[in-house]
Amino acid sequence: MSDRRLRHADSAAFRHAMRALSSGVAIIACGEGEARVGCTITSLASLSLAPPTLFVCLARSSTTLAGLREERAFSISLLAARHEALAHRFSGHGGAHGARRFDGAQWITLSTGAPVLADAIAAFDCVVEELIERHSHAIILGAVVSLREGAAEPALAHRQGDYSALA
């Protein structure tokens, strides 16, 4: 067997090409009170229906990932198109950090105590089943322990660095 090394695509070119992919927008959150942390995510998908499991990818440098490691429970709140400002705030723009990101919206809890956006179009309350570190990110497998469905309305989508409504 030859000792060939695979060449990887340039990171900047890869990032630019991936911007063509449309994705839904959500907030992942964990912790309580002043220890709450959360961020906007677009790397989220269902993994299994039986048992209900999802996965999300977070940068290894993320303060949300650090909180999730400690808490071992998290929520995913799927955002409606009208939540664009909230998505922007949780992405780190505007300078809000930690629990300050949660200001100006109503948050509730389900089973685990992780903060859930009260008017999300859907929300999932999860416990960490497995955390897999690869390269710059961690893949979090979350066992869904409870969920909540909201109103049927246009979802917030992300593509080419911009937000839009997805009917």
For 77-91, the pLDDT digits (tens) are 999 999 999 999 999
The number of C-alpha atoms within 13 Å of 164 and in the hemisphere containing its C-beta is: 9
pLDDT in tens, 134-160: 988 999 999 999 999 998 999 998 887
What does the pLDDT read at residue 6?
58
Look at 86 and 23; give whichever has higher pLDDT.
Answer: 86
For the domain 24-160, what is the CATH code? Answer: 2.30.110.10
Q: Are strands 115-117 and 44-49 parallel, antiparallel or unpaired?
A: unpaired
Give, in order, the Cα–Cα distances in Å from 97 to each of 90, 94, 150: 8, 9, 27
Q: Strand pairing of 122-134 and 115-117?
A: unpaired
Instruction: Quote the pTM value.
Output: 0.89
Indicate whether 109 pLDDT > 50. Answer: yes
**For residues 94 and 50, which has the higher predicted lDDT (pLDDT)?**
50
The domain segmentation of the chain, as residue ranges, is 24-160
CB 79 within 8 A of CB 87: yes
> What does the block give as tokens for 115?
């903060």
User: Do the Cβ atoms of 38 and 12 come closer than 8 Å?
Assistant: no
